[in-house]
A and B are shown apart, each in its own frame.
Chain A
Amino acid sequence: MGRNPQLNAEGKLTHLLTLEGLPAEVITGILDTADPFVSVGEREVKKVPLLRGKAIFNLFFENSTRTRTTFEIAAKRLSADVINLNIGASSTSKGETLLDTIDNLCAMNADMFVVRHSESGAPHLIAAHLAATGRTDVHVVNAGDGRHAHPSQGLLDLYTIRHYKRDFRDLSVAIVGDVLHSRVARSLIHGLTTLGAPDVRVIAPATLLPAAVGALGVRAFHDMRAGLAGCDVVVMLRLQSERMKGALLPSPGEFFKHYGLTADKLALAKPDAIVMHPGPMNRGVEIDSAVADGERSVILPQVTFGIAVRMAVMSTIAGN
């Protein structure tokens, strides 16, 4: 497998591709860097000059509003020039290949690519291509690739958990829903296990869990009530409507009955448990409105922290 492709020769982060295999101090470093950036967003002038003159390309091969917007805001608060490219199609269905697109944007002196792609591994491919062509000063941030990873989301989830719970070493975290297709879940699981969370649980029907989920260092539950018992953090995953097609689930209604988060199920978690969701939410499918809007929900703070964390990611890798 070789060296982790997102670390440079000095072991410093040069791309953010996945949280898997990142040293704990690198993750903690980003979370610490994000701290002061939270207050930047609260100021009258919401800008710091850290990335002034840098050209950051938001390269979205898959549609996204929220992630692209928060990356754009984060880059602008760092004073970078942001160019949004919504390609909205896989690299094979259009004339130009993914790597041709990258070469062209490099010719425009891009400094960083924020990439979302429907295929797992696309950002790794770009990073390998940049390395092979000697462009070690160009950085890649994975903004979600297929089912594989969404590391900036994982980091903002970790930031949120740390903000409310202070320490990971005593936590029980339950991740509920479509783990099979979820890059959010994979990134959060790697982050939590790296930072020493002793009890990470996934809760889903067998059709929505990957075959070897235990190898990720989590405990699998099919019974949501058993899985939520005594946990400190509940992370709900978004359920895509197309999951009804491939015989993975019979109906949203039945899913909600068994795996939707309601107040009475949440009562099984610790009294101070927080509720998270990466968004966008399907109210009444994976989460009840009363819980989503309730006092234990930290879903909107996640969004706020997400900008600070993405500022931390971009300034960290550009600075290395």
Chain B
Amino acid sequence: MATLAIVNARLVDPATGLDRPGTLCIRDGRIVATGDAPRDFRPDTTLDARGLVVAPGLVDLAARLREPGLEHKATLESELQAAVAGGVTSLACPPDTDPPLDEPGLVEMLKHRARMLNQAHVYPVGALTQRLAGEALTEMGELAEAGCVAFSNADHPLHDTQVLLRAMQYAQTFGHRVWLRPQDPWLGRGGVAHEGEVATRLGLAAIPVVAETIHLATIFALARATGSRVHVARLSSAAGAALLRAAKAEGLEVTADVGIHHLHLCDVDVGWFDPQARFVPPLRSTRDRDALRAAVADGTIDAICSDHAPADDDAKALPFAEADPGATGLELLLPLVLQWARESKLPLAAALSRVTCRPADILGIDAGTLRVGAPADLCVFDPDDPWRVTRDALASQGKNTPYAGREVVGRVRWTIVGGNIVHAAAAGERASIR
């Protein structure tokens, strides 16, 4: 079957720490050699990757595709195109669609539609409770058979700790992992901004850090009691990172992620009520941001996700508290991770592990590595190519980003899924900034 060689590449495999020049060979959708091509390898196609990095395709733990039900914000077509344009070859989508992903039929349809589009792999995260209402459990067994890789209540609150305990026990029974976003529903009630100087000045209803830490303490106590594997989604505070560090030191089976914007922005970026800077959880203080960056660098936080939340323009043309939270992120994930790596003086392989092999482990999928025999899901990018974030530059239907008009560095040249080139940026775009 089809063979492909990528030559003159800088091969970076975060799973092994490999970072060396060479050739990568693909046959029948799998990697067959890294470093030097086997003597008898005759590629049908050869890509010259001079000056480019060949890395595993990115694995994103949170990308909203907005289907079913929210197609005015985005569609599978638009967002899977955005994924591969951003070098993302596997993504988990949260269950907060309309209706939510609480029925096997919905999950099957989503998986089917994604397969037909033949771009990034889609791994649905099933609803933990029916209608995400936090009351009755979903049929996790059926949902897992339909293709769900984990269960979460997305950003919907789980008020009832007994339901939370039982959801964790039930998931544990069948070996499913529960993903939880830590926010006490009462302390965060009605809040839209970090409790601090900015919210005080602007008169915005605040979400205190203690809303995160109290719920984290609850989650860890229940994980301890049930022996459940828990994934903590979207940490936002220094105190939260410290609790996570302690839980890991204690030996709890917990993993965690952070949204990429929370590594770069803080509450000051809200400026004069910029709706593009409204996030769930909220952007917190510079101190929190710096602690999150450090926690990702030292491995306390396992993964960085795009927390992709495409929104229509109308949903952002509202007063701050009424605007849709979140930002488009699939196409900004790579450049913003590269920026964090540069600023944190981290080796490229170590930085990329947070968006490749580590999240792949959390999802339990065979991805995120250049190991021989692994699926040929690759991201080939120019780490030094700057581009300006404009509406036209984004494939995502959501043009909502606090980076609008700003320049970022790092551009995907080719994205390969299962050995097929699913995205190719026009050559010669390097340094072409308008």
- If A120-B203, A211-B206, A215-B200 touch, does A125 touch B271 (CB 8 Å cutoff)? no
CA–CA, A98 and B337, complex, Å: 37
How distant is A290 from chain B, measured CB to nearest CB, in Å? 33
Known: A1-B271, A212-B195, A216-B200. 12 other contacts (CB 8 A): A91-B318, A97-B318, A120-B204, A125-B273, A125-B319, A145-B319, A149-B203, A210-B206, A211-B196, A211-B199, A211-B208, A212-B196
Q: Mark B199-227, 1 if CB is under 8 A from A, else 0.
A: 11111111010000000000000000000
- If A1-B268, A1-B272, A125-B317 touch, does A90 touch B203 (CB 8 Å cutoff)? no
CA–CA, A124 and B322, complex, Å: 14
Residue among B199, B202, B273, B319 with max Cβ neighbours from chain A (10 Å): B319
Q: Choose from B195, B268, B319 the contact partner of A211 (Cβ within 8 Å).
A: B195
Q: Does B314 contact A (CB under 8 A)?
A: yes
B320 x A119 contact (CB < 8 A): yes
Task: Collect the chain A residues with CB atoms within 8 Å of residue B275's CB.
Answer: 125
B321 x A120 contact (CB < 8 A): yes
Task: Collect the chain B residues with CB atoms within 8 Å of residue A216's CB.
Answer: 200-201
CA–CA, A19 and B322, complex, Å: 24
Q: Does A139 contact B (CB under 8 A)?
A: no
How distant is A211 from chain B, measured CB to nearest CB, in Å? 5
Q: Does B197 contact A (CB under 8 A)?
A: yes
Which partner residue on chain A sits nearest B271 by CB separation? A1
- If A211-B208, A215-B200, A216-B200 touch, does A5 touch B272 (CB 8 Å cutoff)? yes
Which partner residue on chain B sits nearest A118 by CB separation? B319
CA–CA, A183 and B271, complex, Å: 18
CA–CA, A211 and B267, complex, Å: 14
Q: How many residues from A make CB contacts under 8 Å with B?
A: 33
8 Å CB interface, A96-144 against B: 97-99, 117, 119-122, 124-125, 128-129
- If A121-B273, A124-B273, A211-B196 touch, does A97 touch B314 (CB 8 Å cutoff)? yes
Q: Does A35 contact B (CB under 8 A)?
A: no
8 Å CB interface, A41-72 against B: none
What's the count of A-B pairs with C-beta under 8 Å? 86
B200 x A120 contact (CB < 8 A): no
Residue among A2, A17, A125, A128 with max Cβ neighbours from chain B (10 Å): A125
CA–CA, A98 and B314, complex, Å: 10
CA–CA, A258 and B322, complex, Å: 36
CA–CA, A183 and B196, complex, Å: 17
How distant is A123 from chain B, measured CB to nearest CB, in Å? 9
How distant is A50 from chain B, measured CB to nearest CB, in Å? 29
Q: How many residues from B make CB contacts under 8 Å with A?
A: 24
8 Å CB interface, B315-362 against A: 317-322
Q: Does A20 contact B (CB under 8 A)?
A: yes
Task: Give the A-binding residues of B (Cβ under 8 A).
Answer: 195-197, 199-206, 208, 268, 271-273, 275, 314, 317-322
A125 x B318 contact (CB < 8 A): yes
Task: Collect the chain B residues with CB atoms within 8 Å of residue A20's CB.
Answer: 201
Q: Does A186 contact B (CB under 8 A)?
A: yes
CA–CA, A117 and B319, complex, Å: 9
CA–CA, A106 and B392, complex, Å: 29
8 Å CB interface, A186-237 against B: 186, 210-213, 215-216
Which partner residue on chain B sits nearest A5 by CB separation? B272
CA–CA, A210 and B203, complex, Å: 9
Q: Choose from B200, B206, B271, B319 the contact partner of A122 (Cβ within 8 Å).
A: B319
Task: Collect the chain B residues with CB atoms within 8 Å of residue A213's CB.
Answer: 200
Q: Does A165 contact B (CB under 8 A)?
A: no
A183 x B203 contact (CB < 8 A): yes
Q: Does A148 contact B (CB under 8 A)?
A: yes
How distant is A206 from chain B, measured CB to nearest CB, in Å? 13
CA–CA, A216 and B206, complex, Å: 16
CA–CA, A121 and B318, complex, Å: 9
Task: Collect the chain A residues with CB atoms within 8 Å of residue B318's CB.
Answer: 91-92, 97-98, 125
Task: Collect the chain A residues with CB atoms within 8 Å of residue B273's CB.
Answer: 120-121, 124-125
How distant is B239 from chain A, measured CB to nearest CB, in Å? 14
Q: Does A88 contact B (CB under 8 A)?
A: no
Q: Does A296 contact B (CB under 8 A)?
A: no
How distant is B384 from chain A, measured CB to nearest CB, in Å? 29
Task: Collect the chain B residues with CB atoms within 8 Å of residue A98's CB.
Answer: 318-319
Task: Collect the chain B residues with CB atoms within 8 Å of residue A212's CB.
Answer: 195-197, 199-200
How distant is B408 from chain A, measured CB to nearest CB, in Å? 20
User: 22 A-B Cβ contacts within 8 A?
Assistant: A1-B268, A2-B271, A97-B317, A97-B318, A119-B319, A120-B203, A120-B204, A120-B319, A120-B320, A120-B321, A121-B204, A121-B272, A124-B273, A125-B273, A145-B319, A147-B204, A148-B204, A149-B203, A186-B201, A211-B199, A211-B206, A212-B200
Task: Collect the chain B residues with CB atoms within 8 Å of residue A129's CB.
Answer: 317
Task: Collect the chain A residues with CB atoms within 8 Å of residue B319's CB.
Answer: 91, 98, 117, 119-122, 125, 145-146
CA–CA, A2 and B321, complex, Å: 21
Which partner residue on chain B sits nearest A120 by CB separation? B203
Q: Choose from B195, B197, B203, B314 the contact partner of A186 (Cβ within 8 Å).
A: B203
CA–CA, A2 and B195, complex, Å: 22
Task: Collect the chain A residues with CB atoms within 8 Å of residue B206's CB.
Answer: 210-211
Q: Mark A11-41, 1 if CB is under 8 A from B, else 0.
A: 0000001001000000000000000000000
Residue among B195, B203, B208, B317 with max Cβ neighbours from chain A (10 Å): B203
Task: Collect the chain A residues with CB atoms within 8 Å of residue B320's CB.
Answer: 119-121, 125
Task: Collect the chain B residues with CB atoms within 8 Å of residue A1's CB.
Answer: 268, 271-272
Task: Collect the chain B residues with CB atoms within 8 Å of residue A90's CB.
Answer: 322
CA–CA, A147 and B321, complex, Å: 12
Residue among A5, A183, A211, A215 with max Cβ neighbours from chain B (10 Å): A211
Task: Collect the chain A residues with CB atoms within 8 Å of residue B205's CB.
Answer: 147
A211 x B200 contact (CB < 8 A): yes
- If A97-B317, A211-B208 touch, does A120 touch B197 (CB 8 Å cutoff)? no
CA–CA, A121 and B203, complex, Å: 9
A99 x B272 contact (CB < 8 A): no
Which partner residue on chain B sits nearest A150 by CB separation? B203
A215 x B321 contact (CB < 8 A): no
Task: Collect the chain B residues with CB atoms within 8 Å of residue A92's CB.
Answer: 318, 322
CA–CA, A313 and B205, complex, Å: 29
How distant is A14 from chain B, measured CB to nearest CB, in Å? 14
- If A125-B273, A212-B196 touch, does A146 touch B317 (CB 8 Å cutoff)? no
CA–CA, A145 and B272, complex, Å: 13
Which partner residue on chain A sits nearest B273 by CB separation? A121
Listed from nearest, the 9 A-B pairs whose CB atoms lie closest are: A121-B273, A147-B203, A148-B203, A119-B319, A210-B200, A215-B197, A212-B200, A1-B271, A212-B197
How distant is A130 from chain B, measured CB to nearest CB, in Å? 13
CA–CA, A75 and B426, complex, Å: 59
A121 x B202 contact (CB < 8 A): yes
